[in-house]
Amino acid sequence: MKECYLGVDIGSISTKGVIIDNNNKIITSAYIWTEGNPVEAVRKLLNILKDKLPKQYQVKGIGTTGSARKLIGLMLKACIVKNEITAHAIGTLTFYPNVRTILEIGGQDSKIILIKNGIITNYAMNTLCAAGTGSFLSSQAKRLGIKVEDFGDYALKSKNPVKIAARCTVFAESDLVHKSQVGYAKEDIIAGLCKSVVLNYLNNVGKGKKIVGPIIFQGGVSKNKGVVKYFKEILKEDIIVDENSHLMGAIGIAVLARRNKTGHTYSLELKNVKFITKAFECHRCPNTCELLKIYRNDELVDSWGSKCGKY
Amino acid sequence: MRVGIPRSLFYYYYGDIWKNFFDSLNISYIESPKTNQEIIDRGIKMANDEMCLSLKNYLGHIDYLKDKCDYILVPRISNFKNSNQTCTNFWAAYDIVKNLFPVNILHYNIDLEKGQTLKKGLYKIGKELNKNHHEIYKAYKYAITREKKRIKKNHIINLNKLKVNKTKILIVGHPYNLYDEMIGKDIIKYLIKNNIEVIYSDKFDSKITNPLSKKLSKDLYFKYSKDNLGSIIYCKNNIDGVIFISAFPCAPDSLANELAMRKLQIPHLNLVIDDSTSFTGLETRLESFLDMLGGSLND
């Protein structure tokens, strides 16, 4: 039996799973939409992976990352649960040891990681505002009646991108509505949108940071050719988009799972695992914390959200 | 007769002076409880939407106290001379409270450019509460001696922390944000749980830190920005990273944060807090920051 490790990255928009072997080679992977239900998404994901995984492999470690990492970590009894910044950095460094800058735009957050000699020296993440991230692009795609996957192709067709406010998505959206109502072509608007995502990112997340090559661009939005084009244009540097760029977080957490293996063998079969969450509001004190209780096979495994630590 | 002291904003700078002063004068006082969700909600109801979270919070504390005491201590603190201004919210707090709440306000004005010192401020309070000159002087002396001791003690505690052999993080921010139950407390709890030595910017003696800020910029305007930036310069060689905590949308802090982030080569994390109830986003940022400092990313 050969050993392998599963990394699951549960983002707000998409859920990614990767299985690697002892040499960090990808054996199989899957990418599906989260659709607001991380638990169901992971059930689906594991079903897909289970069918794709050759029979001679045994899962010796599971790691979770992404915004639902804690929840899914409990569900899968993961051996490591880590934030997505760390996971992305490790995943990228595994394939590109010389990388200096990682740009990442995901579904609801965006980050920049600066690396020198294989060591992270600085990073930044968007603060309160989720402007210019994947979820904004998806909602605008819906408004324009286009699949978000086709955004890049439209943007590349444009010779004349319209100017769209780059500071705030609320203003960006009113610009967008206005421009389409006065008759600008769809591709010019989409190209303008892609450009505003880049400007927004550089103004909000990349501010004050020295961006040096080699630069790697990842996260779901890196699949958008329009955004890549404008990053190249504005930074005047080559931008590397790995074919697995959307999987880097999952790869990173799989690498971490390999490093943290406990010897336990995991099954990818979840049919018999009952996993439910119950939410309620505590009224013992004026804080009225929103609490979440998590049950695995009817056994309370954790509860979150209490300020006082009673639960 | 009872004086109400809101546990917010100024409390974290002058609370000890006030309490000692009142103790010495035998005046009873009530402090509002530690901030909780209900107090924040009450504050938001009273506040204008553009006020910062800390000021909303302050109004919540006043609202809590309004029918529990005869006076509420609401200072106006404007400047400390030599272009050491305070935030305009500090100037305005008195008028805002006066216009929003039907309460008796205990007047207390600090404006060093106009000769309104801490001593004069305390005398004003004493007189309003019908105490004689002798009693007030005694109480003032008592409060001020204790305050000097407190500042000295805190400074030494901080210096000792810098010698500890652990990952050390300087938490920079206004004390009314750092120590507030609903703003900074969870962040500090998280750091301590992860075995970090936490050093607080406000616990350094501002007489030492304040002038140091000139090294970053000579045009700084706000006293507390200067104190905060000075504290980073003061210990920058002895710490592993800086976490800058500010409340949304604090303008002086946003400037101070950029200055520190761009000009000083120290790992830096900026956390902007609003009345969002979820800790998840903060946790992601804190965890990755600690990963970076600890070097746990590398094999």
pLDDT in tens, A257-266: 999 888 888 8
Going by pLDDT thresholds of 50, 70 and 90, the confidence category of residue A274 is: confident
Higher per-residue confidence, B153 vs A151: B153
CB-CB: which of A118, A123, A125 is closest to B298?
A: A118
Flag the least confident range among A107-121, B150-164, B231-245: A107-121
Condensed to tens digits (0 to 9), the pLDDT of residues B249-298 reads 888 888 899 899 888 888 889 898 887 667 778 888 899 899 888 765 55
**Residue with tokens 């500042």, as numbered in its chain:** B151
Cα gap A69→A84, rounded to integer Å: 9
How far B38 CA sits from the closest chain A CA (Å)?
5
Total residue count of chain B as it appears in this document:
299
b/e sequence A142-161, b meaning 16+ C-beta within 10 Å: eeeebebeebbebbeebeeb
- Whether B62 and B74 have beta carbons less than 8 Å apart is answered as yes
pLDDT of A233 strictly over 70: yes
* Mean pLDDT for all residues in chain A: 87
- Whether A84 and A106 have beta carbons less than 8 Å apart is answered as yes
**Given an 8 Å threshold on Cβ–Cβ distance, is B284 in contact with A285?**
no
Structure confidence at residue B277 (pLDDT)? 60
Condensed to tens digits (0 to 9), the pLDDT of residues B283-296 reads 888 998 998 887 65
A203 touches chain B (CB under 8 A): no
pLDDT of B136 strictly over 80: yes
Condensed to tens digits (0 to 9), the pLDDT of residues A113-164 reads 988 887 888 888 876 666 678 888 888 888 888 888 888 888 898 888 888 7
CB-CB neighbors (< 8 A) of A121 in chain B: 267
What ranges make up the beta strands (E) of B203-267? 241-247
Q: Do the domain assignments include residue A125?
A: yes
Using a pLDDT cut of 90, give the percent of chain A over it.
Answer: 32
pTM for the model stands at 0.83
* A34 & A61 share domain: yes
Strand order across the beta sheet in which A239-240 lies: A119-125, A110-116, A101-105, A215-218, A239-240
Strand order across the beta sheet in which B105-106 lies: B28-31, B2-5, B71-73, B105-106
Radius of gyration of chain B from its Cα atoms, rounded to whole angstroms: 20
Question: Average pLDDT for residues A175-203, to the nearest whole number?
Answer: 86
Going by pLDDT thresholds of 50, 70 and 90, the confidence category of residue B39 is: very high
Q: What residue in A sits closest to B242 (Cα-Cα)?
A: A122
Structure confidence at residue B151 (pLDDT)? 95
pLDDT of B229 strictly over 70: yes
CB-CB: which of A84, A207, A285 is closest to B36?
A: A285
Structure tokens, A71? 């929840």
ipTM above 0.85, yes or no: no
Q: Do the domain assignments include residue A162?
A: yes
* A59 & A128 share domain: no
Going by pLDDT thresholds of 50, 70 and 90, the confidence category of residue A210 is: confident
Q: Do the domain assignments include residue A266?
A: no
Please report how many Cα atoms fall inside a 13 Å half-sphere around the Cα of residue A49, on the Cβ side: 32
How far A83 CA sits from the closest chain B CA (Å)?
6
Q: Do the domain assignments include residue A309?
A: no
For helices A225-235 and A186-204, give the axis angle rounded to 10 degrees. 50
* A167 & A201 share domain: yes
A290 touches chain B (CB under 8 A): yes
What is the span of the domain harbouring residue A215?
A: 97-241
* A144 & A17 share domain: no
Domains and CATH numbers, chain B: 2-147 (3.40.50), 165-294 (3.40.50)
* A106 & A73 share domain: no
How far A186 CA sits from the closest chain B CA (Å)?
35
Structure confidence at residue A120 (pLDDT)? 81
Could you write out the DSSP letters of every residue in B75-126? -EEEE-SSS-B--HHHHHHHHHHHHH----EE--EEEGGGTB-HHHHHHHHH
Structure confidence at residue A131 (pLDDT)? 66
Question: Average pLDDT for residues A239-257, to the nearest whole number?
Answer: 92
Structure confidence at residue A306 (pLDDT)? 78
Condensed to tens digits (0 to 9), the pLDDT of residues A45-95 reads 999 999 999 989 999 999 999 989 999 999 999 999 999 888 998 999 989
What Å distances lie between residue B86 and A158, B73, B77, B89, B257, CA to CA? 51, 18, 7, 8, 17
Instruction: Find the CATH number of the domain harbouring A192.
Output: 3.30.420.40
CB-CB neighbors (< 8 A) of A285 in chain B: 36
**Given an 8 Å threshold on Cβ–Cβ distance, is B38 in contact with A125?**
no
Using a pLDDT cut of 90, give the percent of chain B over it.
Answer: 59
Structure confidence at residue B296 (pLDDT)? 55
* Strand, helix or coil for residue A9: strand
Using a pLDDT cut of 70, give the percent of chain A over it.
Answer: 97
Interface residues from chain B to A (CB-CB < 8 Å)? 36-39, 181, 186, 248, 258, 261-262, 267-268, 270-272, 274, 276-277, 280, 283-285, 287-289, 291-292, 295-299
* A111 & A219 share domain: yes
Condensed to tens digits (0 to 9), the pLDDT of residues A26-47 reads 999 999 998 889 999 999 999 9
Structure confidence at residue B297 (pLDDT)? 53
Cα gap A166→A227, rounded to integer Å: 13
Radius of gyration of chain A from its Cα atoms, rounded to whole angstroms: 21
What Å distances lie between residue A19 and A8, A141, A166, B55, CA to CA? 9, 32, 38, 50
pLDDT of A167 strictly over 90: no
What Å distances lie between residue A224 and A244, A247, B75, CA to CA? 14, 15, 55
- Residues whose CB falls within 8 Å of the CB of residue A52, separated by 6 or more in sequence, listed in order: A28, A30
* Strand, helix or coil for residue B194: coil
CB-CB neighbors (< 8 A) of B258 in chain A: 207-208
**Given an 8 Å threshold on Cβ–Cβ distance, is A86 in contact with B288?**
yes
**Given an 8 Å threshold on Cβ–Cβ distance, is A85 in contact with B291?**
yes
CB-CB neighbors (< 8 A) of B280 in chain A: 67
- Whether A161 and A196 have beta carbons less than 8 Å apart is answered as no
pLDDT of B85 strictly over 60: yes
pLDDT of B31 strictly over 90: yes
Cα gap A179→A182, rounded to integer Å: 5
Structure confidence at residue A115 (pLDDT)? 87
Cα gap A199→A192, rounded to integer Å: 10
How far A157 CA sits from the closest chain B CA (Å)?
37
**Given an 8 Å threshold on Cβ–Cβ distance, is A118 in contact with B272?**
no
* Mean pLDDT for all residues in chain B: 90
Cα gap A100→A120, rounded to integer Å: 9
How far B274 CA sits from the closest chain A CA (Å)?
8
Return the number of CB contacts < 8 Å for A and B: 65
Q: Comparing C-alpha atoms, which of B199, B206, B209, B187 is closest to residue B161?
A: B199
**Residue with tokens 């760029």, as numbered in its chain:** A245
**Residue with tokens 């931008």, as numbered in its chain:** A239
* A222 & A112 share domain: yes
Q: Which of B296, B297, B298, B299 to mutate to test the interface with A (most CBs of A within 10 A)?
A: B297
* A73 & A111 share domain: no
First-to-last CA distance in chain A?
Answer: 42
Cα gap A83→A93, rounded to integer Å: 16
* A285 & A189 share domain: no
**Residue with tokens 């590349």, as numbered in its chain:** A156
pLDDT of A16 strictly over 70: yes
CB-CB neighbors (< 8 A) of A67 in chain B: 280, 284
**Given an 8 Å threshold on Cβ–Cβ distance, is B267 in contact with A287?**
no
Please count the structural domains in chain A: 3
Q: Do the domain assignments include residue A214?
A: yes
Question: Average pLDDT for residues B155-177, to the nearest whole number?
Answer: 94
A288 touches chain B (CB under 8 A): yes
Measured torsion, CA atoms of residues B191, B195, B197, B198, in degrees rounded to the nearest 10: 10
CB-CB: which of A120, A285, A290 is closest to B297?
A: A120
* A141 & A58 share domain: no
Structure confidence at residue A300 (pLDDT)? 85
Number of Cβ atoms within 10 Å of the Cβ of B30: 14
* A227 & A286 share domain: no
- Residues 76-115 (A) with a CB less than 8 A from some CB of B: 82-86, 89-90, 93
Sign of CA dihedral A26, A30, A33, A37: negative
pLDDT of B299 strictly over 70: no
Q: Comparing C-alpha atoms, which of B276, B272, B283, B278 is closest to residue B246?
A: B272
Q: What residue in B sits closest to A92 (Cα-Cα)?
A: B297
* A121 & A237 share domain: yes
Cα gap A265→A60, rounded to integer Å: 5
**Given an 8 Å threshold on Cβ–Cβ distance, is A86 in contact with B297?**
yes
Structure confidence at residue A257 (pLDDT)? 93
**Given an 8 Å threshold on Cβ–Cβ distance, is A119 in contact with B298?**
yes
- Whether B97 and B103 have beta carbons less than 8 Å apart is answered as yes
